[in-house]
Amino acid sequence: MAQLTRRDVLLAGLALPGFAGALYRDAPGDDRSLKPKRFEETAGFELAEVVESHFLAILPLGSLEFHGPHNPLGSDSIIISGIAERVAARTGGLRATARTGGLRAA
């Protein structure tokens, strides 16, 4: 039996999103073409109409913390913003601007 190395596992993990995307690319209900309404893109005069026409508001919450020298400080906010974007596209919700926060232990 062949032994798996750390490198093999990492390479398989990098390929997995591509395989999953190829499987579900043409699936019904694919939301790649849908663009949700973002709160920050709303003009002042549109505000009342936008709020009335969207029954759901999605507020992404992420942290601002150190994840090592290879990742940006806002990794959590970036990830949750992408998830919120897809949820808003599927549900017709209004996507609010991501809120970031952090707590530093003294």
- Model confidence pLDDT, tens digit, residues 42-75: 898 998 998 888 888 999 998 888 888 888 888 8
Residue 71 resides in a domain:
yes
Q: What is the pTM of this model?
A: 0.61
Residue 8 resides in a domain:
no
Residue 26 resides in a domain:
no
Q: Into how many domains does the chain fold?
A: 1
* Closest-CA residue to 83 (of 54, 61, 64): 61
Residue 14 resides in a domain:
no
pLDDT for the residue numbered 65: 86
Residue 64 resides in a domain:
yes
Residue 41 is part of which domain span?
A: 34-101
Count of CA atoms in the C-beta half-sphere (13 A) of 39:
18
Identity of the amino acid at 101? G
pLDDT for the residue numbered 83: 92
pLDDT for the residue numbered 2: 77
The predicted model gives 14-37 an average pLDDT of 59
pLDDT above 70: residue 14: no
The tokens describing 87, both together, are 């949820």
Could you tell me if 62 and 74 are in contact, meaning their C-beta atoms sit under 8 angstroms apart? yes
Could you tell me if 74 and 100 are in contact, meaning their C-beta atoms sit under 8 angstroms apart? yes
pLDDT for the residue numbered 4: 77
Residue 18 resides in a domain:
no
Could you tell me if 39 and 56 are in contact, meaning their C-beta atoms sit under 8 angstroms apart? no
pLDDT above 70: residue 15: no
Residue with the larger pLDDT of the pair 45 and 104:
45
Burial class (CB within 10 angstroms; exposed 0-12, middle 13-18, buried 19+) of 65? middle
Residue 4 resides in a domain:
no
Residue 10 resides in a domain:
no
The predicted model gives 72-81 an average pLDDT of 89
